[in-house]
Amino acid sequence: MMRRLLIALGIFASLAASAQRMGYVDTQALLKRHPMYVQAQAEVERLNNQYHGEVQSLFDDADALRGQLEAERVLLTTGMIAEREKLISNTLDSAKARQMRYFAPEGTLFAKREELVAPIQSQIAGAIREVARRKKLDFVFDKGSNLAVVYANESLDITNEVLQQLGF
């Protein structure tokens, strides 16, 4: 009796598993073809270059002050040397603080990227959901993520349909 029950459960589980429909999508390809994403990436790159320039300028200022101090050290009093060393230290601290404010995980650059990219990702997710519902898919995997897809039947790729749903 128990054996029959286990066999019946095994058959039921295999039938249920085979009834699931799956598809996959390449979100990286979707993002690269989305014009708003390209613009967002360009804006993030522009800000990155601007912020990097500001931070590098402060580090360069500190290096210049240090070079000037070393060149004039023999002419300066102990108090003047301490004053200049404090100025160099303050300049370096300012550069490091600005670097953290711009480039830390909670920094300005990452916040701006999230602000620009989140609506695009939401739009793509909605299009994926719509195509998955239309095709009656139970699962949609992301080929562009770290999820390992060992084999993918191209007939299950819904990337082009998602692009059409987005209007691209």
Residue 149: its pLDDT value, please? Answer: 53
Q: Is 167 left (phi over 0), alpha (psi -120 to 50) or beta?
A: left
Residue 14: its pLDDT value, please? Answer: 52
H helices present in the chain, as ranges: 2-18, 27-33, 35-72, 78-103, 108-134, 159-166
Q: What are the tokens at 152? A: 């993918």
Residue 144: its pLDDT value, please? Answer: 72
Residue 9: its pLDDT value, please? Answer: 46
H or E element that contains 24: strand 22-25
Mean pLDDT by 10 residues, the chain (168 residues): 48 54 86 93 97 97 97 94 97 97 96 95 90 85 67 73 85
CA angle 87, 89, 91 (to 5 degrees): 70
